[in-house]
A and B are shown apart, each in its own frame.
Chain A
Amino acid sequence: MNNTMPNLSRRSFVIGSAAVGSGLALGLNLPFASRLARAAETTPEITAWVVIKPDDSVIIRMARSEMGQGTMTGLSQMVTEELECDWTKVSTEYPTPGQSVARKRAWGDFSTGGSRGIRESHEYVRRGGATARTMLIQAAADEWKVPSAECAAANSIITHTPSGRTTTYGKVAEAASRLPIPKDVALKDPKDWKIIGKRMRRLDTMDKLTGKQIYGADFKLPGMLNATIKECPVFGGKVKSFDAAKVEGRKGVRKVVQVGDSAVAVIAETWWQAKTALDALPIVWDEGESAKVSSATLAAALKEGLGAEQAFVGNKNGDAKSAIAGATKKVESVYAYPNLNHAAMEPLNATARYTPDRCEVWLGTQNGEAAFAAVLAASGLPADKCEVYKLMLGGGFGRRGAFHDFVRQAVLIAKQMPGTPVKLMWTREEDMTQGRYHPLTQCKLTGAFDSNNNLTGLHMRISGQSILNSVRPEALVNGMDPATFQGVAASGEFEFGYAAIPNFLMDHAMRNSHVPPGFWRGVNVNQNAIYMECFMDELAHAAGQDPLEFRRKLMTKNPKHLAVLNAVAEKADWGKPAAKGVFRGLAQMKAYNSYVAACAEVSVTDGNRVKVHRIVCATDPGYAVNPAQIERQIAGSFVYGLSALFYQECTVKNGRIEQTNFHNYNSMKIAQMPKIEAIVMPSGGFWGGVGEPTICVAAPAVLNAIAAATGKRYRSVPLKNHGITLV
């Protein structure tokens, strides 16, 4: 990735293709953006994906954000596949949201979350590459005065087949940029792919090895000041007063400002000056009613929801309640999952420059358009006077996607220093205590058996926070949050894998709190996988059956779910004895349209020292664009998921989050890293996600293995609360 800002007006030859589909849903309402359109119809410059310079270098422009997951490399592979350009000459660049809006969203959706980066843009980016190739070939054919059908392109070289004449993309790029955009270009059959599906090298590694890579935290402008901020630690509280005079005389401090009605910031020459001044600034908060809330009161509200009459039904089959009432044997368990912070390595930050005529912001964001919308709202300026420039993210995991509270703050601060660029960067402590937390839930599961130990009924009652109710209430369906049922849904990308259970019911008693919930890598599959897959093991145990065989009987209607489960069982030698003291556990789920399963191997010593030796993981994402990066996402997702399982929770006392830094919100280190063996088994015909799906199977597979080792079921996490140490 280039560190430089894209300069879309520079003299280079823009080859386009904006033959994009019209099926993309807008994630937000922007003043000028209604739907995708062919920008070429309204602007002399052709859009959008491919820039080719005279030296044959290829710049691929993408709206999605790179935050380590490799999406820019994967998307570039897709463009390159159809463009038939030289991969060694490819680099990438971000268009700006302002440009995109002005050009009727020529680059499509900027949102990079929900593991959608590739699976929801593969078609239009491949078409972008194919269209550009068609135009380049046409330009060469025109120059040679031969039919384009007699010409072919490979590796950025165009050949007139009958004569053997050749030219390069760089030489015909300018002529190609003036051609009309062909309407219908054919895409390759997946069996002909040469770049998609290969372990191509990431395009963005080098600068990350030398310190050259510029993240938002590193960005500088001439004359820039630095700020840091403190928001009322009780969510929903306000600033009552603060004593600016106490710190205004400190060296480097330029201004102490209130930000909205709930935060105070110090602006100084350096960030360290701002930080130390803010630490010394007396602030009195109006904490409000929520200051009475604690984890105990939140848990009590959720517990009540477990037995509540009213609940939203997310999925059902037959009559689970009757099956349970008439059961020969019943099994019932209650599970709980905490609030969690994203804790991306790079604390939240944004640099803003405001004048009454223009507002610009530089930041790492998972959604440039959402950041842009936040700039418009906070600045009060129209879209043609605002711009957002995207920088590399030091991790996102959902915190930098739907939430641009820090962008609003940066703009509100910059408005109090017109003309001077100000970089706002949060402390880690602010990042920990002003999160958008993984939702707090509990779950009661009830299973019913007949006299032959057949599972006849299953009721899953979820009680707890809804993300959509807080973040996107317009997405609720008659009050219900469908995302609550991720992994146990009736159909679609989170389809339940045990459809053969004759009677089942999944319902949700929504119990919200003042703690703002958010999308956290994997979102609701994290807890639903623990709830369902650990309970499946409990049911198998109650029936006296092998956990794999027990599941298989319930998966006869879900062959793709079963295929990944079988794959991990086979590779992990399920059914054969493990090494002495080693025990195995299984889990499977469909998430983000990929089928995933895991088999974990653990040993437990002294009753509480857990070693995770190995996890075999399988994923069927339909198509595997870059298996090397998929393997890394699997291993990485397990680190994120297992860190939560063993260490992490955000608890509430006096209305505020108690955990403030990595010393009390621990994260796994290399010493605890198990060996991850990935099975990437794309079966074709659909597109599944990669970054998030596998996270959810790590925790239940490990919990099931711990239960196999110890006979103990831990139904609440993190495991540190049960005295367990990960070694």
Chain B
Amino acid sequence: MAKMNVNGKNYDVDVEPSTPLLWAIREQIGLTGTKYGCGVAQCGACTVHINGAPVRSCSMPVGAVGAKKVTTIEGLAPDGVLTKVQKAWLENEVPQCGYCQSGMIMAVTALLAKKPKPTDADINAAITNICRCGTFQQVREAIHAAANA
């Protein structure tokens, strides 16, 4: 049994401490916006925030998270009002299949919290998510648009 705080709510989840955070979020709490892509922290589709910092949840054991605050894609706009990153994503029509975009949006949201006006070099260093549809050109445009919003 582990205690978790996800999107501002407390949960008791019945998993081994070694269970990756990703699977606790998806299978215990039931939030499926956070995706499984590789399971080895390579693709970033599972990116969530822990105390505001981007983390690849597939490789983070629940036991190591403890009471820290976890935010998933569902927690970005709980009242239905899109964040400026989500709005920029909508305006620039970033997603194609969309499967990687939850993780992409979480990574970008964390970047902008730290660096509100990132340069292209900042973006290149911070955003290492894989997108097989190849949306990077729109991702970059949308990051700058969100930064200037």
* A interface with B by C-beta (< 8 Å): 67-70, 201-202, 204-215, 217-218, 220, 226, 270-272, 343-347, 392-397, 425, 427-428, 628, 632, 635-640, 661-663, 667-671, 673, 675-676
Contacts and interface: CB of A to CB of B under 8 A. Distances in A.
B97 A394 contact: yes
A118 B90 CA distance: 24
Contact of B137 (A67, A218, A346, A673): A673
A211 B93 contact: no
B6 to A, nearest CB: 12
Given A213-B98, A271-B27, 9 more contacts: A67-B97, A205-B89, A220-B30, A394-B98, A395-B133, A425-B36, A635-B137, A640-B134, A670-B123
Given A68-B96, A202-B93, A210-B74, A662 B40 contact: yes
Interface string B11-48: 00001000110010011101111111111101101000
Nearest to A638: B134
Q: Is the interface of B mostly helix, strand, loop or mixed?
A: loop
Contacts of A636: 96, 133-135
Contacts of B45: 345
Given A214-B32, A272-B27, A632-B138, A661 B40 contact: yes
6 contacts: A209-B82, A272-B23, A345-B133, A347-B36, A428-B37, A661-B40
Interface residues of B, number: 58
B127 interface: yes
A284 B137 CA distance: 47
Interface centre among A204, A344, A636, A668 (most CB of B within 10 A): A636
B43 A345 contact: yes
Contacts of A220: 30, 32
A218 B127 CA distance: 25
Interface in B49-103: 72-74, 76-77, 82, 86, 89-90, 93-102
A205 B73 contact: no
B95 A68 contact: yes
Contacts of A207: 98
Given A636-B134, A662-B130, A667-B132, A201 B93 contact: yes
B135 A632 contact: yes
B39 A669 contact: no
A392 B45 CA distance: 16
B140 to A, nearest CB: 6
B119 interface: no
B148 interface: no
A312 to B, nearest CB: 33
B98 A392 contact: yes
Given A395-B132, A639-B131, A667-B132, A208 B98 contact: yes
A212 B140 contact: no
Contact of A428 (B26, B38, B77): B38
Given A67-B97, A392-B98, A661-B42, A210 B134 contact: no
B124 to A, nearest CB: 4
Q: Of A69, A208, A344, A673, which is in contact with the most chain B CB atoms at under 10 Å from its CB?
A: A208
A323 to B, nearest CB: 41
Given A205-B93, A662-B43, A346 B99 contact: yes
A664 to B, nearest CB: 10
Nearest to B44: A669
A300 B28 CA distance: 51
A211 B134 contact: no
A397 B73 contact: no
Contacts of B124: 669-671
Contacts of A637: 134
Contacts of B10: none
B4 interface: no
A636 B95 CA distance: 11
Nearest to B76: A210
Top 7 A-B residue pairs of the complex, sorted by shortest distance between their CB atoms: A211-B33, A639-B134, A394-B99, A68-B97, A68-B96, A208-B98, A636-B134
Contacts of B77: 210
Contacts of B96: 68-70, 632, 636
A270 B20 CA distance: 12
Contacts of A67: 97
A392 B97 contact: yes
A220 B77 CA distance: 23
A401 to B, nearest CB: 14
Given A69-B96, A635-B137, A669-B128, A209 B38 contact: no
A486 B15 CA distance: 52
A657 to B, nearest CB: 16
Contacts of A661: 38-40, 42
Residue from A210, A344, A636 whose CB has the most chain B CB atoms within 10 Å: A210
B127 A670 contact: yes
B73 A346 contact: no
A67 B99 CA distance: 10
Contacts of A427: 39
A345 B134 contact: no
A639 B131 CA distance: 9
A205 B38 CA distance: 24
B97 to A, nearest CB: 3
Interface centre among B45, B94, B133, by most A CB within 10 Å? B133
